[in-house]
Amino acid sequence: MEYTVKTEQDVNIYVNDINPYGKKTILFVHGWPLSHRAFEYQFNVLPKMGYRCIGIDTRGFGNSSKPFWGYDYNRLAEDVRCVVDALKLRNFVLGGHSMGGATVIRYMSLFKGYGVSKLALFAAAAPSLTMRPDFPYGLPKEDITKIIQSIYDNRPQMLLDTAPMFFYKPVTKALSDWFFQLGFEAASWATAECAKTFRDESLFNDLPQIQVPTLILHGIHDRVCLFPLAEAMNKAIRNSRLVPFEYSGHSLFFEEKDKFNMELVKFADQL
């Protein structure tokens, strides 16, 4: 089932609700600069196993509205809450990749984990994607600033240049083209504004507020959200478990999709 959820005036969030009568619900929030279609290798498998999989497109990306505003973590988390309310979701697994991981962390703190029974973080951009005086494990801020400038100067080239960073092994042209197509569906201003958000915002205060069992899946070769971020999240979130992916970069749900699906299902099924 495909539909949209209105979150504020003139802003509609696209929802793809796969197997709506499944035994358990997993809500997926994609990362920058992609769309819900990045999770196609989960949507191919998990519904056959009886799961209800809900993919949403963040505002500015995929099939959602593309307003010129509203790309901070609070607003993105509020959009997720609107979807949760519209679909009357309860006792569901909330999962997020990269910036989507940061968004779901903010959801957990902003709304006290409303409706969520378990949290799953896939290469999440938390507690800070960029280096800070007391957090030396992220990327240099100037690297993200260069990406932002390249969005304004030549977004197609930026997407082509960024694709290899998402993967551990060299990418084929077909895979690079797939990444490019997903990224080019987004609005250019949304791509830039979201990059400013994950450059400038942090979630250090959000992590201790998470009260549900949390699964952290992270590629040890990740060049976007470096592996020490996963270790920092694991340390800060009570009742969390970190599973390293030894043959993955930032796109572990593709590069080790069988292991990814197995770990996610095992986590969702745990009592």
What are the pLDDT digits (tens) for 134-176? 999 999 999 999 999 999 999 999 999 999 999 999 989 999 9
Strand 11-18 and strand 51-56: the pairing is antiparallel
Q: 35, 222, 240, 251: which is the annotated catalytic residue?
A: 222
Looking from the CA of 169 toward its CB, the CA atoms found within 13 Å total 10
pLDDT of 9: 86
Q: What are phi and psi of 68, to 5 degrees?
A: -90, 5
SS3 label, residue 22: coil
What are the pLDDT digits (tens) for 168-216? 999 899 999 999 999 999 999 999 999 999 999 999 999 999 999 999 9
Q: Give the H/E segment covering residue 91.
A: none
Q: 35, 98, 176, 240: which is the annotated catalytic residue?
A: 98
Is this model's pTM higher than 0.85 or not? Answer: yes
In order of their start, the domains of the chain are 2-269 (3.40.50.1820)
Q: 30, 97, 221, 250: which is the annotated catalytic residue?
A: 250
222 as an active site residue: the answer is yes
| Amino acid letter, residue 58 | T
pLDDT for residue 238 is more than 70: yes
Peptide bond into 33 cis (omega under 30): yes
The percentage of the chain sitting over the pLDDT mark of 90, rounded to a whole number, equals 97
**Confidence band, pLDDT 50/70/90 cuts, at residue 37:** very high
| Token representation of residue 191 | 């791509």
What are the pLDDT digits (tens) for 40-96? 999 999 999 999 999 999 999 999 999 999 999 999 999 999 999 999 999 999 999
SS3 label, residue 64: coil
Classify the C-alpha dihedral 271-208-243-124 as positive or negative. positive
